[in-house]
């Protein structure tokens, strides 16, 4: 019997430089995809997967994340007086009341491994999920955190969720080494991991997606991890080391998801969710189609 995965670590200390100036005074995790901040999608995925306690590893200028998950008494009072019950529903239940939230600061930006290590005392001797908030998954039938927890429960091993990327992009990710066996039913025993390899060094094109379930051993190992790729303390290096001791499972996620840490992925996420919204979708689609047509016409050379 494995221990239940109740806790999740969400590292939210990143500076969001790719989105400047939008992120000059606002956390990148609070940028909105339609009408919810990115971080809320990620928290909803974790809640749906059964997470009961969240550790947010924050940094300077991130207090709006704490405020977002707080109960907004004054706002609720005003909305109550105005009888705006539909809006009350949207703000009241963002976080179930029995969920525990912890905020801890990463004093220095020393890398993802260091950030996760900052949550060690709250995690204690339990397996835990890690969700990198840049990735927004379209949950429901396809919840990568829920899939990872299920595989952890079946195997008792850590699980790293991955997706296939073109070989020329592996240098942006942690990459799985599957050894000789390869994938069965989109799952595999992983023999090791490499953080941000060149295409020539990459053991596969399976890139770490940003969803993990890790055994408590990772928290013991993290303080001893030396700076690696980019001179940062890498979570991938800790996982690679624990894999050699305990084994590890890789699981390929084929559901729809967006890298909202990238401007293109962020815009795609907005379009995807907007088109599925009952109010916005039918109004936006004709505009998008007309704009696409016009852009196409402009870009197509005229025949003389």
Binding to ligand G1P in span 216-255, by CB under 6 A = 234-236
Q: Pairing between strand 7-11 and 128-131?
A: parallel
Handedness of CA 200, 202, 205, 207 (dihedral sign): negative
Q: How far is the CB of 259 from ligand G1P (least distance, A)?
A: 7
Minimum CB distance to ligand G1P smaller for 95 or for 239: 239
Measure CA 285 to chain center: 28
Binding mask 179-198 for ligand G1P (x = CB under 6 A): ----------------x---
Do the beta carbons of residue 176 and residue 250 sit within 8 Å? yes
Q: How far apart are CA 117 and CA 294, in angstroms?
A: 51
Local structure of residue 73 (DSSP, 8 states): H
> Per rule CB under 6 A, is residue 160 in the interface with ligand G1P?
no
Least separation in angstroms between residue 100's CB and ligand G1P is 26
Both structure tokens of 127:
């397996």
Residue 210 CB contacts under 8 Å (≥ 6 apart), including other chains: 131, 132, 134, 135, 161
Q: Is 132 in the site for ligand G1P (CB under 6 A)?
A: yes
Q: Does residue 210 belong to the site contacting ligand G1P (CB under 6 A)? A: yes
- Rule CB under 6 A: say whether 19 interacts with ligand G1P: no
Count of residues binding ligand G1P (CB under 6 A)? 12
- Nearer residue to ligand G1P within complex by CB, 89 or 164: 164
Which residues contribute to the site for ligand G1P (CB under 6 A)?
A: 112, 132, 134, 173-174, 195, 207-208, 210, 234-236
């Amino acid at each position: 019997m494995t221990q239940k995965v109740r806790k999740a670590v969400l590292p939210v200390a990143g500076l969001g430089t790719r989105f400047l100036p939008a992120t000059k005074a606002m956390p990148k995790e609070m940028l909105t995809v339609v009408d919810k901040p990115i971080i809320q999608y990620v928290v909803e995925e974790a809640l749906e997967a059964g997470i009961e306690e969240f550790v947010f590893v924050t940094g300077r200028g991130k207090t709006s994340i704490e405020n977002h998950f707080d109960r907004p008494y004054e706002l609720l009072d005003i909305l109550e007086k105005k009888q705006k019950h539909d809006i009350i529903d949207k703000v009241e239940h963002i976080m179930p009341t029995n969920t525990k939230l912890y905020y801890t600061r990463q004093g220095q930006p020393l890398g993802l491994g260091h950030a996760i290590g900052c949550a060690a005392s709250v995690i204690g001797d339990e397996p835990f999920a890690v969700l990198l908030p840049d990735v927004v998954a379209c949950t429901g039938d396809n919840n990568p955190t829920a899939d990872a927890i299920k595989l952890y429960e079946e195997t008792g091993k850590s699980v790293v969720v991955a997706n296939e990327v073109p070989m020329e992009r592996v240098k942006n990710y942690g990459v799985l080494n599957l050894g000789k066996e390869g994938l069965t039913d989109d799952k595999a025993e992983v023999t090791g991991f490499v953080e941000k390899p060149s295409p020539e060094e990459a053991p596969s094109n399976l890139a770490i997606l940003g969803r993990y379930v890790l055994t408590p051993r990772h928290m013991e190992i993290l303080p001893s991890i030396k700076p690696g790729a980019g001179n940062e303390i890498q979570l991938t290096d800790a996982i690679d080391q624990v894999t050699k001791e305990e084994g590890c499972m890789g699981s390929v996620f084929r559901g729809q998801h967006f890298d909202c840490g990238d401007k293109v992925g962020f815009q795609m996420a907005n379009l995807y969710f907007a088109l599925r919204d009952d109010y916005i979708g039918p109004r936006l689609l004709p505009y998008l189609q007309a704009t696409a047509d016009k852009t196409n016409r402009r870009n197509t050379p005229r025949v003389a």
